[in-house]
Structure 1
Amino acid sequence: MTAVLGGCGSTGSSDVTLRLVAADYGDSAANSSEKYWKALAETYESAHPGVQIEVSVYSWNDVDAKVKEMVDAGHAPDLAQIGAYADYAAAGKLYPASDVLSIRTQADLLSQLSDAGQVKHTQYGIPFAASTRVLFYNKTLFAKAGITPPTTWDELAADAEALKSKGVKYPYALPLGPEEAQAETMQWLLSGDNGGSGYTDDIGTYTIDSTQNVGTFTWLKDELVGKGLTGPVAPGRLNRATAFAAFADGQVGMLNGHPTLMQQAARKGVKFGMVPMPGRTGKARASMGVADWMMAFKQNGHADRIGDFLDFVYSEKNVLAFSREYGLLPVTSSASDTMSASDKATDKALRPFLAQLPTSELYPVGKTSWAAVSASVKKDIGRAVAPGGSPSGVLTRLQTAASSADSSDAG
């Protein structure tokens, strides 16, 4: 789907036309992002008669490729709101955030999201939307099994055993299939021994085969998968969308999920609860955070105009409107504070996710090697928990590939 949005005035009558390519967060024509951007563009243009905003909206299946195609052809948009920024930043095609955002707007961005937008200590990726993960559980199935939500891995395994004894199809759904295995993997890595180590250390070096991470996948293989507590589909073949659908059908006891699952489960009448992801011996050190990105391309100039428009886009009112429309978390402190204090039912529903955001950890998206590493994780991580699989062997292979990709990018 594509649509070009803008005001009624002709391009010829505008001093400047800013072109933005954006992703569609809607799941139907009724809530397409086209409507959000059309209203935003018209409001901005009415107060800025010398500027026209042209927005092209594409599905998530197409938007990253569309921007790449435009940039490769020498026709970069002024702004792109897509999934990754690091390649364009590394190629010198983006304005630093400080060149376009006002000091007030830049300071309002949540710090851990801004930090994830950096390449070599300069921020190029401007967070646009965020989400975190929590552990969903089926209240009906838990009541039948006489159990309470887990706070440690051992409790999670015990709960899964109780659910299995009651005939639950997926006591704990572990989607390590190719759709989004990097997400489930990271959530478990962050909950491991000694706070987990994630994909990288504090200075950005890959640590995929750390002792903690090998221990995490050994535990998953031995205590969940090996004991038949993850359901009839091998984790390496179970995709997130399938796991979410099974939860909405009442077939899953527990799984990691993001805000979209709330709506999906509620539509099917599933009674569910949400708790922080358990850690090895207590609550996980951090939740996994995910952000989508806005970026400003240098090719056409217009830094001042771009910055003024972005200050409008990132106003509290507009950030809240977008977050509420699509069930996502605000990326600014002002909007987050307002949502946290709100009595609106939709805002209250997002509080468990919002509570995780300040301590969340994001993928290492500032590394140009991350795309290749993520693809390798999606392809291979399921083998670590398969019968006869070697967690240390699989993680070591992934680490070797990651280190190689990192060094070639650095070179």
Structure 2
Amino acid sequence: MQRRAGKSGTIAGTIAGVSALGMAAVLSGCGLSQGSDDVTLRLVAADYGDSAANSSEKYWDKLVAAYEKDHPNVTVDVTVLSWNDVDAKVKEMVDAGNAPDMAQIGAYADYAADDQLYKAGDVLSIPVEADFVGQLADAGKVRGVQYGLPFASSTRLLFYNKTLFEKAGLTAPTTWAELAADATALKQDGVKYPYALPLGSEEAQAETMQWLLSGGGGYTQTVSSYSLDSAENVATFGWLKNELVGKGLTGPVAPGKLDRADAFAAFTNGDVGMLNGHPSLMKAAAKKGVKVGMVPMPGVDGPARVSMGVADWMLAFRKNGHADQIGDFLDFVYSEENVLDFSREYDLLPVTNSASQVMSTVKQDADLQPFLEELPLSQLYPVGWTSWAQVSAAVKQEIGRAVTPSGSPAAILGQLQTTAATAESAAGE
């Protein structure tokens, strides 16, 4: 396939809902040829909404209608599933030999390793491929080749309840010691969760990574090896166990039993003094009348030098062909207008430089600018490693035990390192 210098504008297509013919294509597992030039593409996408009112179905419906005007011969059937189901459903489809043409999900590395995906350069026009934010594009690479197309991103900041802080006469912390001192004062004022530490199975890998980075460590030490049991990481979890959890500063629920969603809900109810949060928490808190302050994650001696970044991915599967049609549609998906619409609707950061430049300068997006400033300093999960899914699952399952009264950070992190090393070795075979 020849690379396109820009949007071709030559591929005719229509995006429509699932029709009888479209359903036949879904069931048959291949693109439907309605005529000599007609193609049906299937896209399975995750739902970023928190209610029917802002379901991602509405975003895709609007995008569909706009694309339909200029493309009468391509039908794109979009199926939106919850985050609880979408990754598993796509895997089920792929394992059954019924891969969709595109999937917007949380991981891509396994499919890339199995040679099931188009390279970014096989489908996207050169300007669109070049517009991805640099570290997000790099995170989408396996062995130096980009397969994962970033679709949504966010960074994390330390959120604090301004009302509770003002009542206690506190200022936002910049160091771990200041965070612990603020948490102590909040506890004395009767705050239920002075610092909410969600190390439950829902998203423990995120809270863990944020703290590891703030302590000068992380999940990986080199481009090819894990370092979960590094001295820095052991010290970080030792501090959490002794200075926060052990002193009763993390609330009534044991960190290993506290999920992110429950921590966020407690924050919006005014029961949390501080926690790590992403952009969507701003809107949820505002709806409940909680006044929010946000600062970079504190570190040992000052604000952490590196923040945690997160990205979700668009995948283009090779199973059914249609590289040109997929590419033309994705060029439209990644246009500046559509990226901005999605990012603003769901309080997420844009994955393209062009949309990021707009957001960084207009008043409309002022609330997201602190997160945009953190993005160039952020580090993402090692999503390009096929072992990461197994390692992430192990962290979710085990890391909460490191801060229990009888838990040993060194022992738990050592066990996780063994799991990680074994998984990476198996992935390389």
TM-score exceeds 0.5: yes
- Distance (Å, rounded) in 2 between the aligned partners of 1:408 and 1:141: 49
1:224 maps to which residue? 244
- Distance (Å, rounded) in 2 between the aligned partners of 1:241 and 1:75: 33
Structure 2 residue 200 is matched with structure 1 residue 188:
no
1:268 maps to which residue? 288
2:357 maps to which residue? 337
Aligned partners of 2:158 and 2:277 also within 8 Å: yes
- Distance (Å, rounded) in 2 between the aligned partners of 1:379 and 1:138: 29
Structure 2 residue 46 is matched with structure 1 residue 23:
yes
* Residue of structure 2 aligned with 1:85, choices 96, 100, 108: 108
- Distance (Å, rounded) in 2 between the aligned partners of 1:204 and 1:328: 30
Deviation at 1:10, TM superposition (A): 6.7
1:117 maps to which residue? 140
2:308 maps to which residue? 288
Unmatched 5+ residue regions in structure 2?
Answer: 1-14, 23-33
- Distance (Å, rounded) in 2 between the aligned partners of 1:50 and 1:242: 46
* Residue of structure 2 aligned with 1:371, choices 389, 409, 412: 389
- Distance (Å, rounded) in 1 between the aligned partners of 2:261 and 2:80: 23
Per-residue CA deviation, residues 332-355 of structure 1 (Å, 9 max, x unaligned), is 0000010111111xx111111111
Aligned partners of 1:23 and 1:33 also within 8 Å: yes
Structure 2 residue 123 is matched with structure 1 residue 100:
yes
- Distance (Å, rounded) in 2 between the aligned partners of 1:400 and 1:154: 31
Q: What SS does the aligned partner of 1:98 have?
A: helix
Q: What SS does the aligned partner of 1:47 have?
A: coil
2:5 maps to which residue? none
Deviation at 1:68, TM superposition (A): 1.3
2:268 maps to which residue? 248
> Which runs of at least 4 in structure 1 moved beyond 3 Å after TM superposition?
4-11
Q: What SS does the aligned partner of 2:205 have?
A: helix
- Distance (Å, rounded) in 2 between the aligned partners of 1:161 and 1:57: 44
Query: So what's the TM-score if we normalise by structure 1?
Result: 0.95
Counterparts of 1:301-320 in structure 2, within 5 Å, are 301-320=321-340
Say if 1:177 and 1:10 are closer, same or farther in 2 by CA, change over 3 A: closer
Per-residue CA deviation, residues 47-77 of structure 1 (Å, 9 max, x unaligned), is 1222121111111121112211211121211
Structure 2 residue 159 is matched with structure 1 residue 136:
yes
Q: Percent of pairs identical after alignment?
A: 70
Amino acid at match of 1:172: Y
Q: What SS does the aligned partner of 1:341 have?
A: coil
* Residue of structure 2 aligned with 1:380, choices 391, 398, 401: 398
Aligned partners of 2:16 and 2:75 also within 8 Å: no
Deviation at 1:7, TM superposition (A): 8.8
1:400 maps to which residue? 418
Aligned partners of 1:45 and 1:53 also within 8 Å: no
Aligned partners of 2:16 and 2:68 also within 8 Å: no
Aligned partners of 2:238 and 2:409 also within 8 Å: yes
- Distance (Å, rounded) in 2 between the aligned partners of 1:35 and 1:390: 48
Count of aligned pairs between the two proteins:
403
Deviation at 1:38, TM superposition (A): 1.7
Amino acid at match of 1:369: S
2:194 maps to which residue? 171
| CA RMSD between the two structures | 1.6
